[in-house]
Amino acid sequence: MEGAEVDVWHSSPDGLYENQDPAQAEMNLRGRFSTDSAGQFSFKSVKPAGYPIPLDGPVGELVKATGRHNYRPAHLHFMIYKQGYKTLISQIYAPDDEHIDSDVQFGVTRALIGDFVLHDEPAPELGFAAPWYSLEQRFVMELGEARRPRAPIRSKAQARAD
Ligand SMILES: [Fe+2]
């Protein structure tokens, strides 16, 4: 469908979100896109890495009690919003992550594993040296009430406007 708003955010190749990493610019690896008349959107980015969840607090106590590791496999977050449809919030996972079958958060399902395609040839028209990955993902929205949750991470400019 045309005109859906798509929020995307993901960690860096070091497994850090920008708000966790002083070396990254504010709102780095976060973006909002709109689907075109063909219902598509696209962007170029870096491949995210998996990361450990914090072990402090009650969640950390729970993870330690289970004797499991505390890693999430690499993923991209998506939130898709369009009036008249239930807001779709999901994650797409990288199949080559060593923790793909043991996500501490139990978030991985087969349908959420992305078809990352490794390309061994450079793609100068895209500005990519080899190797690089492509990922095509189809999202299906369901009729219903559109609700947009307030973003937990806000830019400094947004925070000043609040
Ligand atoms: Fe994440």
**Distance in Å, CA 75 to ligand 1 centroid:** 6
pLDDT in tens, 3-57: 999 999 999 999 999 999 999 999 999 999 999 999 999 999 999 999 999 999 9
For residue 12, how far is its CA from the centre of ligand 1 (angstroms)?
10
Mean pLDDT in residue range 143-152 = 88
- Alpha helices by DSSP H, listed for 54-144, are 57-66
73 C-alpha to ligand 1 centroid (Å)? 9
Exposed/middle/buried for residue 108 (C-beta within 10 Å: 0-12, 13-18, 19+): buried
The neighbour count for residue 92, using CB atoms within 10 Å, is: 20
Label residue 150 by pLDDT band (50, 70, 90).
Answer: confident
Looking at residue 84, what is its pLDDT? 98
Ligand 1 centre distance from Cα of residue 140 (Å): 21
Distance 48 CA to ligand 1 centre (A): 9
| Whole-number percent of the chain with pLDDT over 90 | 91
Distance 50 CA to ligand 1 centre (A): 8
What the block records as the tokens of 130 is 């080899």
Query: In this structure, what token pair is assigned to residue 132?
Result: 């690089």
Mean of the per-residue pLDDT values of the chain: 94
Residue count (the chain): 162
